[in-house]
Each structure stands twice: as structure tokens, then as C-alpha cells.
Structure 1
């Protein structure tokens, strides 16, 4: 029997892999192997994402997850300081928490 936390962690691991793959597509000119992407990786401070990169990432993830994940509404609900400090883990939790 699988516990809920294990199932959630498995789901989050799959989402983390998808987000990492999407980031590699968006940031194809940046070497990501030097600093592996983890749940604690910050989009702005660690990956130097600019607003246009976030828009591109949102588009890439929308292609992968469709309408089930409303990224524009989620981003709009965040304060500027929250967006600046946004981590990969926060995005992963948001995606993993959406109904399939």
C-alpha cells in the first residue's frame, strides 16, 4: 500500500522532471548541468530568469499540462516579491496540486 505522502512525492518528482525539462527548453543557451535544478532553485536569483523567460516557461508548461493548470491566473495572484523569490518547488507544488 502506498502512503499519500509517497504518492504526492512521486507526483512531485514527475512534475519536477517536467519543469526541469521545460526549463532546459526555455534556457537552451544556459548551462544547467553546473547547478542541478532542485525544489529550492530560485527562478530569478539562481537561474537568472527574466520576465520574458517566465512567459516562455509558462507557454512551454501550458503545452505540457493544457488548461488544467492556469499559470497566468496563478502568477497574477502573486505579489512581485513572491515572483522574484519564486522557487521551482513552489511551481511544482502548484502543478502537482491541480486536479488531473
Structure 2
């Protein structure tokens, strides 16, 4: 299934599967730099342990999220409440859930 990452996302269009596909695409671009673009990305995939992403990669992902979803999804605000151990253990699913909730809340206005 191909996801149009140029079309605006509205609250009614937001599904876990759609957001997972979009975030997986963003991550594949990052991972391609390390030759790891064929890694399976699921809701349980951990950014540090499974994808071996470093903090600079999370900064890049944050920029990608802002570009795609606008100010409705604030990655820095999302992880600000986490302890270091929680950031290290963070899963793709946690981010997907955050994006879905943020976009749905923004749609309700």
C-alpha cells in the first residue's frame, strides 16, 4: 500500500496503520544512510535497540514529523516528559500513538 505523504492529513484520515506507514517511510530514509533500510519496522520496534538510532537521528525525525504534520505534532514536547531510560526504550508505536492523538485533537479544534 502506498501512502501519499504530500496530501494534508485530517483527523478523519488518521489511522494507526497510515501513521505507521508514514513514520516507517521517514525512518527508512534515515536508515538508508546506514545501509539498514530493509529493517522491519513495527509498532514494537525500538528506536535505539532495534534501529540503532542516535539522538541526532531523532532530531532529524523530529524535523520530518514537523514537515509532514505541522505544528500539531511536537516531537520535542512529546519526549520532554520522558526520563533518559524511557527515551532509550521508546518504540515506534509510542510515537505513532502520539501522532494519531495529536492529529485527532487538532481536528476537533
1:27-70 alpha-carbon deviations (Å, 9 max, x no partner): 2223232x310000000000000000000011011100000011
TM-score normalized with structure 2 length = 0.77
Specify the alignment match of 2:100 in structure 1. 96
Question: Alignment partner of 2:18: what SS?
Answer: helix
Residue in structure 2 matching 1:71, options 64, 69, 75: 75
The alpha-carbon deviation at position 75 of structure 1 amounts to: 1.2
5 Å-filtered alignment, 1:5-20, equals 11-20=15-24
Count how many residue pairs are aligned between Structure 1 and Structure 2: 91
TM-score normalized with structure 1 length = 0.84
Contact 2:29 2:37 in 1 (8 A): no
User: Is 1:52 aligned to 2:56, yes or no?
Assistant: yes
Specify the alignment match of 2:37 in structure 1. 32
Gap regions ≥5 residues in structure 2: 1-13
User: Is 1:80 aligned to 2:84, yes or no?
Assistant: yes
Measure the CA separation in 2 of the matches of 1:36 and 1:76. Answer: 27
Question: Alignment partner of 1:27: what SS?
Answer: helix
Specify the alignment match of 1:4 in structure 2. none
